Structure formats: C-alpha cells, structure tokens
Amino acid sequence: MEARLTCEEAPRLLCKYGQKCYQTNPLHHQKYKHPPKRKIEAKVGVASKKKKTVAPPGNNERNVPVLVEDECKVLSVPEEEEDLPPTPENENEAIKQKFLVDMPEDFYSFWSFCKSLSPDKPEEALKDVGLLLVGPFDILSGNLKKAKTRKLSLYLIHWRYYYDPPEFQTVVKGDDTKQYHMGYFRDDPQEPPCFVARNCAAIDCTITPMAENIFGAVNAYLDAMKGKCDPFQKMKVSKVQNSLKSWAKDNNFVLDVLSEAMKARNKKVVTKTFHNAGLVVPWNKKTELGYRKLIETDETLKRILKNVVGSSCEMEREAHLGALQPIVTAANIANDECDFGTSLELGLDLFSFGGKVFHRTALNLLKTAYSLLQRNEFALIIEAHLKNRRRGTALSIVDQII
C-alpha cells in the first residue's frame, strides 16, 4: 500500500501565510514560525457595524427575534491598494487586467453576433428577449470607462451577485425580480471555462450548468422562454434564436445542453457542494490524496448553520458556532495532509449558505485552499466580494449599485 505524502518535502522555518495564517492545529505551529498578529483596518467609506433584531423568514417556530448583522452600504477597498496601470489597448488583456481571467473564443464571437443585431448598442441586442450583456462585456461596450475607480478589488466585484462564488463570472443578466443571470464557470482561473451556468440569486445559491458556451446557454434560455411567452413575444424569440443558431453553426459552436467536455468534467467532480455545480480538484485515486469528505454530512452541516443564523442571542449563537468548529478544524488538518479540496468545499458551503456571521471563516478557508491549489486569482476575488457582499442586487462600479 502506497504511503501518504506530506505537504512539504522539507520543513519551513517560517509559515508562508505569515500574519494571515489561521491554523489552530498544534502540529502546524510546531512546524512553522508565525509573526505576531496586528489588527489592520482596511476600508474606504463608512459601513454600519450595528446589529439589529428582526423576525427571520420561514420557520421561526419560537417567534423570537434573530440577530442580523447589517451589510455594508459603501463599497470597500484596502487602504494600501494601489491604482491599476493604464488599461491595455488589447481587449483580452484589458479584461484580464481587471477580471484576472482570459475570456474564451465564444465570448468575443457572441459580442460580434450581438453587434450584427444591434451595431450601436450590442450590449442591448437581446433586450427584447429580456437579456443584457454585462460584466466583462462592459469593457467591450466602453461602459466601464464611466467607472470612477482604478482599484482592482472593485473591478473584481463588478456584476457579482450575492451567491456568485469566485468560480462563477456573470456575463448576462435577465429578470431582476429573480436576479436571474448567466456566467462562465471555471474550476481553475488559469484554464478555460468549463461551461456557462445560471443562478437566480433572489431564490437560492443553486448554480445550474446550461451549455458548454454562451451560444448554447442563450439558446437553452430561448427554448425555455418559447414555452412560456405569448404568440407575439414568441415571434421575437424565434427571430433571435434563428439568427443565433445560424451564427453558431457558421462558427462551429456546439449548442448541446450537455456536451462531451461537460460530461468529462462531471467525471472529475469529487463533491457537489451546496451550490450543486460540483467541485474539481487534483485528486489521486490510488493514494486518495487531494480530497477527503467533510466529517459531517451536508444535512448536518446545514442544520448547524441554520441554528447559527437562527440564534436569538449572542450566547446561543456562540453555542451553535461551537458545533461548527470541529468541522473547520478537521478541514484545517486536511490541508496539512494535502487534501486541499476539503477546506475548499467547506469554505464554498459556508459562502453558499450565506450570512455575514460565516464570512470570516469562509474567507480563511477559501484563501488558504485557493493558495494551496495555486488558484490565487480566486482568493483575490473572494476577499473583494466578502468585503462588499450584499443581498438583493448585483454589485457594480459604474453606478455604484445596480
């Protein structure tokens, strides 16, 4: 039987996370040195830190108030963050500078398709079917030139909805009442997107894969729309859909809902996560190195998290948080033994469940996991998002809030 490997070939004298290290495992502190921690205030603007009590939605059987922490109303950036250099002339480089990822070929082809429908305002070419091009498309349209900031952390949250993890990048918005939006989903920021998915942030955290590329995703959206709309609207949908199918065929973009590439990716998924789009990390089937299951089931974890947000006082909340701590500790230990996918799963689950009370723990888990997996771009995105996360709207740096 092959022995498990340690995370490092040789011990280090100084922990590479420095003051940001959150590890509580005694063995970790025996191996690595840590500088003393200092408190850093890193916010611009004023964000309310008051707490208020409101009746919780849903099943409040005891009819007691629940602690709710106010979400920030002013976009925040670290004080020490410098402005970005001038925007590159090349569109792909300009997008990568501000969003930290390369956009796929279908993204630029879809923009050209929309320009063929609406030369003056391609971003609004699909407004008759309820869609608007947003996010990185705002660089192509020139809308981001209206932004009054040069801070990377604020570009990283542009058109980011409440439940969008770093892996999900919004590019199309739909019905505002549901906060319907589509986006590219990547397992690794250095790799092309796995698929285009949708989420309705006003409803839940579920991320549903739609197609391999944006043409297939919009085509699936139009198929669903035709089954619900009136005859007059159906004519508009059919006109757009016929044009889209013709363009996709001419440019060799598949419209399959489940392509071969998506099937291959599904085989690599080690766990579904709360958002249900699945988690892919390097995993050795022989040694079982790279991922291990959480020590509690999804059902138990959700019950613990529900108890935390449903607490009526600080003492009760702390008691329920105590039940979460062993799960966090076990995920930390998994990191020490190179099962990085475990802390990534737990961090994403806390993020997907929602609630400011979990933000600090989720951030610690995710930043560490992304660093160990060499997905550092995602670490920057989650940090920026959690500083500015809020329900009920998409974040934007053009009009501050949309």
Phi-psi region of 18 (alpha: psi -120 to 50; beta: other; left: phi over 0): left
Residues sharing a CB contact under 8 Å with residue 12, sequence separation 6 or more, in sequence order: 31, 32
How is residue 129 written in tokens?
């079917």
The answer to whether the CB of 289 falls within 8 A of the CB of 5 is yes
Cβ neighbour number for residue 33 with a 10 Å cutoff: 10
Q: Which residue has the tokens 């590890």?
A: 23
The 8-class DSSP code of residue 87 comes to P
What count of residues does the chain have? Answer: 402
The answer to whether the CB of 264 falls within 8 A of the CB of 209 is no
Task: Name the burial class of residue 137, with classes exposed (0-12), middle (13-18) and buried (19+) by CB atoms within 10 angstroms of its CB.
Answer: buried
- Listed as own residue / partner, the contacts of 230-238 with beta carbons closer than 8 Å and 24 or more positions apart are 236/128, 236/129, 237/129
- Single out the catalytic residue among 41, 337, 345, 377: 337
How is residue 96 written in tokens?
């990568």
CA 385/CA 162 separation, integer angstroms: 9
In angstroms, what CA-CA distances link 110 with 211, 214, 359, 368?
A: 14, 7, 35, 35
Residue 337 catalytic?
Answer: yes
CA 53/CA 310 separation, integer angstroms: 11
3 state SS for 1-64: CCCCCCCCCCCCCECCCHHHCCCCCHHHHHHCECCCCCCCCCCCCCCCCCEEEECCCCCCCCCC
Residues sharing a CB contact under 8 Å with residue 389, sequence separation 6 or more, in sequence order: 71, 162, 356, 359
Distance of CA 147 to the CA centre of its chain: 22
Q: Which residue has the tokens 């290290």?
A: 21
- Provide the β-strand partners of residue 169: 184
Question: Which residues belong to the active site?
Answer: 337
